[in-house]
Amino acid sequence: MDRSPSAAEAAAPARTFDAPSLDSVEPSRLTRLAGWLRPTLVVLLLAFAAGVVFGNVLPTRFELAATERRLEETRAENERLQQRIVELTRDADRLAKDPWRTERILRDELKMSGDDEVIVR
């Protein structure tokens, strides 16, 4: 099959559909276009910036405040538990050094008696 243009096709001018260039558009139309395009772009840019700030920064500050609050609560609990450990260690040392105190706890709190004793109620 021959792909060469026929005489009729060669004589016909080639048709192209180009978009109108900015030079061919009348200036008043460009002025109107620029008149609403710039404020629209500025508003969109500000909306995007606000979305970034309020979407990312503020929740991070709230999360940071909540984390700091939990940290302070945990520190307070750790301090309380350390005081409890000191008290229990002191009690354990006293029990280890004082046999009468150990016997009193065994008799009063655990209701125990010696091998040769009988409990009467």
C-alpha–C-alpha distance, residues 35 and 89, integer Å: 80
Q: Pick the range with the lowest mean pLDDT from 18-22, 43-47, 48-52, 61-65.
A: 18-22
pLDDT digits (tens, 9 = 90+) for 81-112: 999 999 999 999 998 999 888 888 888 888 77
Give the number of other CB atoms < 10 A from CB of residue 107. 14
Task: Give the span between the Cα atoms of 72 and 55, in whole angstroms.
Answer: 27
Q: Which residues of 60-92 are buried (b: 16+ CB within 10 A; e: fewer)?
A: eeeeeeeeeeeeeeeeeeeeeeeeeeeeeeeee
The pLDDT of residue 52: 80
Sequence-ordered list of residues with C-beta below 8 angstroms from that of 95, at least 6 positions apart, any chain: 101, 102, 105
CA dist., res. 83 & res. 106, Å (int) = 26
Q: What is the pLDDT of residues 7-29, one digit of tens each?
A: 555 555 555 555 566 566 566 77
